[in-house]
Amino acid sequence: MKRRCEKIFRCIHCQKDIGNQALGTRFRNHCPYCLWSKHLDTLPGDRKAGCGGAMTPIGLTFKAAGKEKIGELMVVHLCQKCGALSKTRLAGDDQANTILFVYQNSSKMQPVVELDDGLAKQSIRLLGEGDRQEVFTQLFGKPNLN
């Protein structure tokens, strides 16, 4: 039985209506078009954050269990209002070119001590040039050999 697609929110950044029909969207919290999110959670899915600020995608990371990399790509968000960091699973309808854009721009970000400290405290490693082959393989099914 196919799930009925319904609007679950309007993107805080690009203002598009976002649905939940694609794989991995049951508890969606980010826009598949621009990857922006809204700061709603203290813990994933709890909807207990009182901030409500816009969360910009600042890079990608791999899902991990302890110190072991599992390999699933996740987007890393930074709240524009309170500075909170979070990581979120990608969904089946997230735009591959937008994900790639976020990945490529994260390596160009100037180091910010507060951001680096926050990432370290949460054991988040933004993916860099050394992760290029795996990022391309996950997004496009083959490594970028350039």
User: What are the pLDDT digits (tens) for 79-121?
Assistant: 999 999 998 889 888 999 999 999 998 866 656 667 888 888 8
Residue 56: name the closest of 73, 74, 42, 39 by CA.
39
Q: What is the rounded distance in angstroms from the CA atom of residue 33 to the CA atom of residue 93?
A: 9
Among 20-24, 73-77, 95-99, the minimum mean pLDDT is found in: 20-24
Q: What is the pTM of this model?
A: 0.84
Query: 146 to each of 7, 111, 137, 142, how far by Cα in Å?
Result: 39, 26, 13, 12
